[in-house]
Amino acid sequence: MDVVRTTGRARAGRAAAAVITTAVLLVPAGGVALADPDVTDQDVRDAQRAVTSAAGAVADIEVRLAELSTRADDAEVAVAQAGETYAQAQADLATAQQEAQRASEQYDQATEQFADARATLVAIAREAARSGGSMDTVQALLSAEGFQDVVSRSEALTHVSDKADQAVQTYLAAEQVATTLKATSERAQAAQEQAAAEAQSALDAAEQAQSDADAAVAATQTERQSLIVQLAAARNTSAEVEQARQDQVDAERRQRAEAAAQAERTQTPSTPSAPSTPSTGGGTTAPPTTTTPPTTTTPPTTTTPPPTTTTPPTTTTPPPTTGGGGGSSSGSTTGAEAAIAWAKDRIGLPYVWGGTGPNGYDCSGLTQGAWRAGGVTLNRTSRDQYRQVKKIAYSELRPGDLVFWGSNPNDASTVYHVAMYIGGGQIIEAPSPGNTVKISSMRYTNSMAYAGRP
């Protein structure tokens, strides 16, 4: 914003107001203007330009105030997106940790089997020595360095007993498995460390996004207040009056946007062009896109009675693929009640970056925990939850269903928030940093094309 330009226009507005006020004072009660010999044509033109400039300043200020009213919303979305990125990084880290743990356990098991195989060979060698036999080849095998050395030395074992031969083969196999799993474990450990670093980086980015958002909101409020003062001067009103006026303008703008979004979301969804396989599970309602078979028209040029046709049964169109696929539902009404009760018990707990409880939650951590109590395992992030659940129309919402918000209503990868519908036009959610788990009014602005049923 060009502050100098706007401030100059505000001063021009005040000058114009002074000129207009002076002109009014020169008009007597009878309405006949008294000529002022000191006022020239140039003075009149200057006053007119001042009035025009003041009007332009008012228009510019109002436009800038409208822009500022959405700045805080944009900052909040940026924070939510950063939080979603961190949640995904956490999920990736958890997967990497599980893989590393599994690889480590497999390596430990292979090492034990290798040690057992070696011990068996040692026992065979000792037994042969006690019986006066020769186990030089076994001893040579045991002293080998590396798998290739073992293979070359094992060729001499053809004269060893079957028992020793079997032990040697077990030994060779165990060593090879242990060597392979050691490499696998090392790679898994490296992947875990990389995932941990990425998770920390994502957390740092999320915290920076929050800091940037706070700074943006503070700057917005400061600029907004300054503009309101300028607007009051240009309109010859008070800052309090203009503050109330702008608050009302912002509220009406939000109401219009919300009403438009609700109308769009609650209308009957169109049939997707490429439906996926219908989902299965406990969900009983799909978007109301029932198809009707086409009407057969008998050609007028024939007298042959039209053939009898069998009306195909009415079928329900599969859930849409738009915005993350059809998904599936395995929940039940009882499960939904349990999920809602669980979530309500967490009301008041703080929003925590990547929180999955018990002392704090992020948005998807709350819905995941709630539906775990309802008997359904949900994915970790709101984006993956949107891909996972059965897509339903908003007109079919019932308690326990999930509602999602994103930057693009048709792209699951842009989802940044999820909440659970509890009925009566209300949702329960972990909204954002600095807030707590709470019940809010249902909102449609920036919502995804479809809601979801776990």
Q: What does the pLDDT look like over 194-216, one tens digit per residue?
A: 877 887 887 788 788 888 878 87
pLDDT at 343 > cutoff 90: yes
Point out the least confidently predicted range of 42-46, 106-110, 381-385.
42-46
Q: Sheet with 426-429: list strands edge to edge.
A: 390-392, 451-453, 402-406, 415-423, 426-429, 438-441
Angle, vertex CA 321, rays to CA 317 and CA 326, nearest 5:
70
Q: Write phi, then psi, for 226 (nearest 5 degrees).
A: -65, -40
| Band of pLDDT at residue 175, cut at 50, 70 and 90 | confident
Most confident of the ranges 17-26, 43-52, 161-170: 161-170
Q: Which residue has the higher pLDDT, 239 or 66?
A: 239
What average pLDDT does range 54-72 have in this prediction? Answer: 72
Question: CB-based burial of residue 239 (10 Å sphere; 0-12 exposed, 13-18 middle, 19+ buried)?
Answer: middle
Contacts (Cβ under 8 Å, ≥6 apart) of 335 = 282, 371, 374, 375, 376, 400, 454
Residue 447, beta-bridge partner list? 405
3-state secondary structure of 384: helix
pLDDT at 330 > cutoff 90: no
Q: Where are the domains of the chain?
A: 48-264, 335-453
**H-helix or E-strand containing 452?**
strand 451-453
At 408 the pLDDT is 93
Q: Which residue has the higher pLDDT, 411 or 32?
A: 411
One CATH from 1.10.287, 1.20.1070, 2.30.30, 2.80.10 for 48-264: 1.10.287
* Cβ count within 10 A of residue 388: 20
| Band of pLDDT at residue 344, cut at 50, 70 and 90 | very high
pLDDT at 157 > cutoff 90: no
Judge contact between 354 and 310, C-beta under 8 A: no
Share of the chain above pLDDT 70, in %: 65
Point out the least confidently predicted range of 86-100, 154-168, 339-353, 389-403.
154-168
Q: Which residue has the higher pLDDT, 17 or 429?
A: 429
At 271 the pLDDT is 37
pLDDT at 298 > cutoff 50: no
pLDDT at 292 > cutoff 60: no
Which class does domain 335-453 fall in? alpha beta
How far is C-alpha 286 from the chain's CA centre?
Answer: 23
* Residue 81 exposure: Cα atoms within 13 Å on the Cβ side: 14
pLDDT at 412 > cutoff 80: yes
At 339 the pLDDT is 97
Peptide bond into 293 cis (omega under 30): no
Reported pTM = 0.60
DSSP string, 343-355: HHTTTTPBB-TT-
Rounded CA gap, 376 and 355, in Å?
A: 19
| Band of pLDDT at residue 179, cut at 50, 70 and 90 | confident
Task: Give me the chain's average pLDDT, please.
Answer: 74
At 9 the pLDDT is 38
pLDDT at 437 > cutoff 80: yes
What average pLDDT does range 400-426 have in this prediction? Answer: 96
Question: CB-based burial of residue 433 (10 Å sphere; 0-12 exposed, 13-18 middle, 19+ buried)?
Answer: buried
What average pLDDT does range 40-63 have in this prediction? Answer: 63
Token representation of residue 157: 């074992």
For the chain, report the end-to-end CA distance as a whole number of angstroms. 47
What average pLDDT does range 62-83 have in this prediction? Answer: 79
Judge contact between 86 and 354, C-beta under 8 A: yes
Nearest Cα neighbor of 388 from 375, 378, 374 is 378
pLDDT at 310 > cutoff 80: no
At 306 the pLDDT is 42
At 12 the pLDDT is 39
pLDDT at 133 > cutoff 60: no
